[in-house]
Structure 1
């Protein structure tokens, strides 16, 4: 931008002062500029062209002109316009719009995808424990026709999933307000309590002693892993899981003795408990300020969302066995694919938040922001579903080798679409939680879980068809809400 505004145009080509012969007036009071005079507006445009081009309204130009000292009388005498507003309107019309782009900025949500691939593996590796513990879960089917102990293990997993989702939210909140010491105090009490409740849930259903012992180990692992994840020490989990991973790998080649299987499982549980205890105790500092303590109800929707997701995933895995009996195939490959996909889901949640901020920076109105936000949401969801599709095909292809003697149910169009619909529910619910909206996804997921459970109990259609209908509707509702939420400027503050 050039120098200050010039209010005095060049003098006329004739002799004498410029004001000796007043220019004639137009009808309506506007003065007519002599033909021999240079157009002073051209010089004004040359002086203030960049500012005029960037203005979004003529009044913005008028405000700058008045701030530079141009009065209404000067606008009439110097430029032949009634006032500064008429002059600004002409400047706005004559200069093409040229809005500047936003300055370069650092994306606060940028993250390397490799970290989230690692987290996906960390989430999925505990499933190898079921391969080692399968021989101990033998016996007559339970009341639902499931393998012995499945009911107790499922009840324990549902309670543990819901509790640890709520605990993780509360611990992260304490971490933000009071640091690692506050989070450590929260986990030191909440993690053992959650493990105890999950064990009690398993005891409510009839199961052999081996299944109850496995449920206790599962509950302890979930609680300890939650503590390590919140405190940023998830790299210790693969080390703790190494005995189970090695044992599961050996079981594919040779028949392992029972004591080897038990030793590998106990080594994993013992290692993860020791690591969590050490990290949690070291995090607690008696002299640190406690920080703000949020009410317990603040974490309730996160626990309810976890419960709804756990029920939906359980129905996806065991639905055929409950519907058709123990002879039906276990859809374990679906659960493994969903678990592995959580790494990609977390990374795409970060990308969605970063791209949403970029969309806000490039939008000049609410309509443009809504359109850009919808594009960002569609792009990130499509990326997640593509990753989930690849994982579903991969786990179905590898399942017979990973679990000899069993075969997953056929992967037809209905089952594949049902898994993708469930993935869309999980991802969009997590996205809404990331933007601070927790109750709505919790209510939608619990409603969907109740609908699928009722349909399974009443034997309405095939479980995959029911899941496709229910999760398809739930994901549509969640995505519509997410699109509206991301289209608001206040959401991105």
Structure 2
């Protein structure tokens, strides 16, 4: 079966049926190779640009392909095995890059969360500086290590993805990567706080909030982090004496979002 996407073999792409993609077809037995071929034809336009089977696995997960469907319908042990089979069936084809957007006319839907996050972070830092000027100095000096840990977090997430056989396994590995990077950053700040005499509780809570928010933004989940930080900034501005508690709650919410939203394999193929 020819599977060239967008070519003359439009009959293969016409296999997109007017029914749910995972609906059972009684004409095909479980695990029939033709069933996998039909799925490859249906998803050919999306599979062709992939450079690794894991991208296909992310696509299947995003489409709602469950473990029961993978084993019962397609005869594969897990989504990664099915993704490899689909990847091998579809030739590589890369679309022509879209025209460059006018940089002087920014997309407000994309730029607004970044601006909101920056504003909220600024309010939190100013409030922290009014309580403890050394906290702002420590945060400023820690920008370099924070960005390096964000970079390492992205790299280690790729390692976790390659060593994961199931989505659940990746989620556990991703949580471990997140804990390692965030914990290392906070230990560094704790040492700096003790050295400068700054209050460690407020400093660590604020640092955890800012770092996890930046992490979510880096992986393309800017709106949740912007929303949480905006609520935290508004609350702290109203109750400045509760700043450590507000930041601690925000950091917990942001960490939960990072594990929940970024603990899915396909989130790591849509980063910005």
Q: Same fold (TM over 0.5)?
A: yes
- Give the distance between the partners of 2:149 and 2:266, measured in 1 at CA: 22
Question: Given the alignment of the two structures, is residue 443 of structure 1 paired with residue 227 of structure 2, yes or no?
Answer: yes
Alignment of 1:214-229 (within 5 A): none
Larger radius of gyration: 1
In structure 1, the residue corresponding to 2:165 is in which secondary structure?
A: coil
Aligned residues: CA RMSD: 2.5
Indicate the residue corresponding to 1:359 in structure 2.
160
Q: 1:440 to 1:390 in 2, by over 3 A?
A: same
- Structure 1: runs of 5+ lacking an equivalent: 1-58, 64-98, 100-175, 187-292, 320-330, 397-409, 457-462
- Give the distance between the partners of 1:366 and 1:312, measured in 2 at CA: 35
Alignment of 1:317-466 (within 5 A): 317-319=129-131, 331-394=132-195, 396=196, 411=198, 415-456=199-240, 463=241, 466=242
Alignment of 1:84-123 (within 5 A): none
Matched residues, number = 177
In structure 2, the residue corresponding to 1:445 is in which secondary structure?
A: helix
Alignment of 1:112-191 (within 5 A): 178=100, 186=104
Alignment of 1:287-326 (within 5 A): 294-319=106-131
Question: Is contact 2:208-2:251 (8 Å) kept?
Answer: yes
Question: Is contact 2:120-2:230 (8 Å) kept?
Answer: yes
Indicate the residue corresponding to 1:491 in structure 2.
267
In structure 1, the residue corresponding to 2:221 is in which secondary structure?
A: coil
Question: Is contact 1:369-1:487 (8 Å) kept?
Answer: yes
Question: Is contact 1:356-1:486 (8 Å) kept?
Answer: no
Q: 1:177 to 1:356 in 2, by over 3 A?
A: farther
- Give the distance between the partners of 1:486 and 1:455, measured in 2 at CA: 31
Question: Is contact 1:359-1:369 (8 Å) kept?
Answer: yes
- Give the distance between the partners of 1:360 and 1:418, measured in 2 at CA: 34
TM-score if structure 2 supplies the norm length? Answer: 0.60
Displacement of 1:333 in angstroms is: 1.1
Indicate the residue corresponding to 1:8 in structure 2.
none
Displacement of 1:387 in angstroms is: 1.8
- Give the distance between the partners of 1:313 and 1:445, measured in 2 at CA: 12
Question: Is contact 1:340-1:391 (8 Å) kept?
Answer: no
Indicate the residue corresponding to 2:66 in structure 1.
none
- Give the distance between the partners of 2:261 and 2:159, measured in 1 at CA: 16
TM-score if structure 1 supplies the norm length? Answer: 0.34
Question: Given the alignment of the two structures, is residue 472 of structure 1 paired with residue 248 of structure 2, yes or no?
Answer: yes
Q: Deviations for 1:153-188, whole angstroms, at most 9, x for unmatched residues?
A: xxxxxxxxxxxxxxxxxxxxxxx9859xx76xx5xx
Looking at both structures, which has the greater relative contact order when contacts are Cα pairs under 8 Å and sequence separation is at least 6? Answer: 2
Displacement of 1:315 in angstroms is: 0.8
In structure 2, the residue corresponding to 1:492 is in which secondary structure?
A: helix
- Give the distance between the partners of 2:99 and 2:116, measured in 1 at CA: 23
- Give the distance between the partners of 1:383 and 1:391, measured in 2 at CA: 13
Displacement of 1:390 in angstroms is: 2.5
Question: Is contact 1:341-1:391 (8 Å) kept?
Answer: no
- Structure 2: runs of 5+ lacking an equivalent: 1-29, 34-80, 82-97
Q: Deviations for 1:333-360, whole angstroms, at most 9, x for unmatched residues?
A: 1101001111111110010011011101
Q: Deviations for 1:397-439, whole angstroms, at most 9, x for unmatched residues?
A: xxxxxxxxxxxxx64xxx3111101000000000000010111
Displacement of 1:294 in angstroms is: 4.5
Question: Is contact 1:348-1:384 (8 Å) kept?
Answer: yes
Displacement of 1:386 in angstroms is: 1.6
Displacement of 1:393 in angstroms is: 3.2
- Give the distance between the partners of 1:446 and 1:354, measured in 2 at CA: 29
- Give the distance between the partners of 1:343 and 1:318, measured in 2 at CA: 23
Runs of 4+ in 1 over 4 A off after TM superposition: 176-179
Question: Is contact 2:194-2:200 (8 Å) kept?
Answer: no
Displacement of 1:392 in angstroms is: 2.6
Q: 1:362 to 1:473 in 2, by over 3 A?
A: same
